[in-house]
Amino acid sequence: MKKTILRYGAYGALTICVLSIASWYGLSTLSLPVQEILGYVTIILSLCFVYFGIRHFRDKENGGAVSFKQALTMGLLISLITALIFGLLDVFYTEVLNPGFMDYYYAEIAENMKGTLPPEELRIRLAELEEQKA
């Protein structure tokens, strides 16, 4: 079970890292909303390995049966591996590779809000953004 968790957690981590790096650099000309959608698609694709890992364990290692507890444990651990690796990559990206990303991101969000919100609500939301940024 441990070997399956590590293997499929690594597959999920590799998938999310490769697709994220591709979107950060190869597809960087796309707008932020499109990149956001691609980010969600990347998350879903990488988490498909939870299903594949549990199915592999059930069919190849456990004789065609898996308990709910085993499946839940495997799913959580595969997801945890994927999330931890991606979290480290994300911190590395925002701190080392592109330290100005957060300023750019907040500027884009503020610009989008200016076109959609009334002035009073815009002022409140911009204040909230500044608090989050700090």
Q: What is the pLDDT of residue 27?
A: 65
Residue 109 pLDDT level (bands cut at 50, 70, 90): confident
Domain ranges for the chain? 2-98, 100-134
Task: Indicate whether 13 pLDDT > 90.
Answer: yes
Q: What is the mean pLDDT of residues 63-85?
A: 95
Q: What is the pLDDT of residue 28?
A: 63
Query: Chain-wide mean pLDDT for the chain?
Result: 87
Q: What is the pLDDT of residue 134?
A: 66
Task: Indicate whether 84 pLDDT > 70.
Answer: yes
Residue 111 pLDDT level (bands cut at 50, 70, 90): confident
Top mean-pLDDT range of 38-42, 82-86, 96-100:
82-86
Q: What is the mean pLDDT of residues 28-38?
A: 78
Residue bearing the bigger pLDDT, 106 or 92: 92
Is residue 90 within 8 Å of 21, Cβ to Cβ?
no
